[in-house]
Amino acid sequence: HARKFGVDVRDFEPVHEIVVEGNTKVVRMESGEELRAPALIMAAGGLPRYLQVPGEKEFWGRGVSYCAVCDGAFFKGQELAVIGGGDAAVEEGEFLTRYASRVYILHRRSELRAQPILVARAQANSKIEFIFDAHVTEIAGDAKVQDVLYEQHGEMKELHVGGVFIFIGFTPNSSLLKVHVDHDEAGYILTDRNMQTSVEGIWAVGDVRAQLTKQIATAVGDGTTAAVSASMYISALKDAART
């Protein structure tokens, strides 16, 4: 659809660097080509951090997930495992109790890193059980996930579950802009309500920016807001050039 309106779509062309030259944003491709424009919208997304254990990649989409909101409803009435000990793991674990018969939250340490208010809420949920000092070693199954194998205090244990949700971190693809725009400690780009970054003429949308949720719907909304804001910005530059 975008091509119908004259958008030049470049598939699978790696970007080497982004440079800001006054009001001009320069995108330098690894091929040596330079793309120059007054406005730039960063929509590079990000990637979940992986456990890197046997079975994780093999069962992705067949019981292994990184998004409770996206996939939770597919596991209605089943017992599930959540891997992680931060805010995301605890929040998503509690969300999964809407569908699951039981949720096990496995954390490799003896204490959670999540905010106390989130921990207290999860502890009060009768469907949630915490398993501490659990080092997951394998995700096993046949056609789909059936078991999580983990080591606890030197003993190997097995947990029979229908799905595994992994929340051990998320890495935004923000490295190309980190030297230019403000970002938080985790690398997420900071924006205002119009999706504009700390640099005039640069916007960030979707999973690459600091926000509450990581959903297609919110990314689309971000993109719409940024596109309108960028259009107004370009119009203002043109008006200023004519005066």
pLDDT for the residue 162: 98
Is 159's pLDDT higher than 80? yes
pLDDT for the residue 9: 87
Give the dihedral of Cα atoms 207, 212, 215, 219; nearest 10 deg.
-60
Using a cut of 0.85, tell me whether the model's pTM lies above it: no
Is 231's pLDDT higher than 80? yes
3-state SS of 20-69 is EECCEEEEEECCCCEEEECCEEECCCEEECCCCCCCCCCCECCCEECCHH
Is 90's pLDDT higher than 90? yes
Tokens 């789909």 found at: 144
Mean pLDDT of 158-185: 95
pLDDT for the residue 235: 96
Set out the domains of the chain in order of their start, with CATH numbers.
38-46+172-242 (3.50.50.60), 50-166 (3.50.50.60)
Is 124's pLDDT higher than 90? yes
CA 5 centroid distance within chain: 30
Q: Which residues are catalytic?
A: 67, 70-71
Is 214's pLDDT higher than 80? no
pLDDT for the residue 7: 86
Confidence of residue 84 (pLDDT cuts 50, 70, 90): very high
pLDDT > 90 fraction of the chain, expressed in percent and rounded: 87
Is 71's pLDDT higher than 80? yes
Q: How confident is the model over 32-65, as pLDDT tens digits?
A: 999 999 999 999 999 999 999 999 999 999 999 9
Tokens 């598939």 found at: 11
Mean pLDDT of 137-142: 98
Structural contact between residues 102 and 127, judged by C-beta atoms closer than 8 angstroms = yes
Is 4's pLDDT higher than 90? no
